[in-house]
């Protein structure tokens, strides 16, 4: 056993209450349940949800919590009941913990697993650390295919299945469809990427940030709309001859962006909400009641992760291109500052690696 596995402490990014976090010394995680694994983190990233937590928006996250729910690493210890993984395996950590046995897991709603769900970096310690304890390891880890690019595979922890399940699948994107994605942040761009698996006739990206719209164009958007003047609805209507779009995907989580979706959805269309909402939104049924639309919400279940893993492994999708900034884990606080100031820093996904920084595999 290396010195690494016998150490009793480690460093981790610890939430210290609203607007405060620190790279602190913590106890190194150990196996508590036979179904646990301990994973040494080699690569992790920061999610928009982590920024919400840092603002103090999520009451489930208590002071002292290690943040993070995405990562890639090496299995360091396994409990006696873990059958799919052994020490030394390279793994992708799913943002959703799944026991695969409870009633919700049996219905493929892993996000509401009775023994898991979204707990990492929320109700239990997370992945922005030198090591993390993963409960229900068999249902919550995936083998990292040999020879793959770590930054591509890292996007399978959360962003790719979230965009695909909550946006593309729930929006029932089909070849003939016109699609509009409101929000061209990392999640919106991941929706754009995964929507193309179904060859929609058009994908419009709506965002007030010109830089992000330029990225969206490079990633295959058929049109981009800058909403800094607040006229996105009029622009979409003009582009669609007054019909609106078949699929409106909300990828921000604000009343205004959800409002745009309601105004641009066409007859027979779908509104798929992906954004995390912290405030009530108005639902305009007085306008929508007779338009044959449907509205969906979802917390990612990560049930499509095995499929997406194959697609990424084949090279058909290269979500690692969302990575704009790289830091060492020890610079996590600096990485948060960069990600928190995304517009000025032109940040999309910010990657943290255990030191020394690994060379970019791309």
Give the footprint of Zn ion on this chain (CB under 5 A): 47, 49, 99, 102, 105, 113, 158
* CB closer to Zn ion out of 102 and 203: 102
Nearest CA-CA partner of 77 in 4, 181, 9: 4
Alpha-carbon span 357 to 291, nearest angstrom: 53
Least Cβ distance, residue 188 to Zn ion (angstroms): 14
Torsions phi, psi for 224 (to 5 deg): -130, 145
* CB closer to Zn ion out of 105 and 264: 105
Least Cβ distance, residue 62 to Zn ion (angstroms): 18
Least Cβ distance, residue 216 to Zn ion (angstroms): 20
Nearest CA-CA partner of 354 in 24, 79, 44, 5: 44
Least Cβ distance, residue 5 to Zn ion (angstroms): 28
* CB closer to Zn ion out of 104 and 327: 104
Q: Output the CA–CA distances (angstroms, integers) from residue 164 to 44, 121, 189, in the order listed.
A: 20, 22, 11
Tokens 């690493």 sit on residue: 73
* 3 state DSSP class of 223: strand
* CB closer to Zn ion out of 99 and 132: 99
| E-strand stretches of the chain | 9-15, 21-27, 37-45, 71-78, 90-93, 131-134, 141-143, 178-182, 202-207, 223-226, 245-250, 265-273, 294-296, 323-328, 349-353
Least Cβ distance, residue 248 to Zn ion (angstroms): 22
* CB closer to Zn ion out of 47 and 132: 47
* CB closer to Zn ion out of 189 and 204: 189
Query: Pairing relation of β-strands 178-182 and 90-93?
Result: unpaired
* CB closer to Zn ion out of 262 and 339: 339
Least Cβ distance, residue 185 to Zn ion (angstroms): 12
Nearest CA-CA partner of 11 in 28, 34, 31: 28
* CB closer to Zn ion out of 186 and 200: 186
Give CA 278 to chain center in angstroms. Answer: 17
Nearest CA-CA partner of 29 in 45, 46, 8: 8
Written as one string, the DSSP assignment of 17-67 is: STT-EEEEEEEPP---STT-EEEEEEEEE--HHHHHHHHT--TTS-TTPBP
Least Cβ distance, residue 91 to Zn ion (angstroms): 18
Nearest CA-CA partner of 203 in 227, 187, 219, 185: 219
CB 12 within 8 A of CB 57: no
Least Cβ distance, residue 137 to Zn ion (angstroms): 13
Least Cβ distance, residue 159 to Zn ion (angstroms): 7
* CB closer to Zn ion out of 49 and 127: 49
């Amino acid at each position: 056993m290396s010195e690494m596995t016998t150490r009793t402490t480690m460093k981790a990014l610890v939430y210290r209450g609203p607007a405060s976090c620190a790279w602190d010394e913590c106890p190194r995680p150990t196996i508590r349940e036979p179904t646990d694994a301990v994973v040494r983190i080699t690569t992790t990233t920061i999610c928009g949800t982590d920024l919400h937590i840092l603002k103090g928006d999520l009451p489930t996250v208590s002071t002292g919590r290690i943040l993070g729910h995405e990562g890639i690493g090496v299995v360091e210890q396994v409990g006696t009941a873990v059958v799919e993984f052994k020490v030394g395996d390279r793994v992708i950590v799913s943002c959703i913990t799944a026991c695969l046995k409870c009633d919700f897991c049996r219905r493929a709603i892993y996000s509401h697993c009775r023994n898991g769900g979204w707990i990492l970096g929320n109700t239990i310690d997370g992945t922005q650390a030198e090591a993390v304890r993963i409960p229900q390891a068999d249902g919550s880890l995936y083998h990292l295919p040999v020879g793959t690019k770590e930054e591509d595979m890292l996007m399978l922890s959360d962003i790719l299945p979230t965009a695909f399940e909550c946006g593309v699948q729930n929006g029932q994107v089909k070849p003939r469809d016109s699609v509009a994605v409101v929000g061209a942040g990392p999640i919106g761009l991941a929706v754009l990427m995964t929507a193309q698996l179904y060859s929609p006739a058009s994908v419009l990206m709506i965002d007030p940030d010109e830089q992000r719209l330029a990225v969206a164009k490079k990633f295959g958007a058929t049109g981009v709309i800058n909403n800094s003047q607040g006229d996105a609805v009029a622009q979409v209507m003009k582009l669609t001859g007054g019909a609106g779009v078949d699929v409106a995907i909300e990828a921000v989580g604000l009343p205004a962006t959800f409002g745009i979706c309601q105004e641009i959805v066409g007859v027979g269309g779908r509104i798929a909400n992906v954004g995390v909402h912290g405030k009530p939104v108005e639902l305009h049924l007085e306008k929508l009641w007779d338009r044959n639309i449907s509205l969906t919400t979802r917390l990612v279940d990560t049930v499509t992760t095995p499929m997406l893993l194959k697609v990424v492994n084949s090279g058909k999708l290269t979500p690692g291109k969302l990575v704009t900034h790289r830091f060492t884990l020890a610079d996590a606080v600096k990485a948060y500052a960069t990600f928190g100031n995304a517009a000025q820093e032109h940040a999309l996904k910010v990657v943290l690696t255990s030191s020394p920084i690994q060379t970019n595999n791309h």
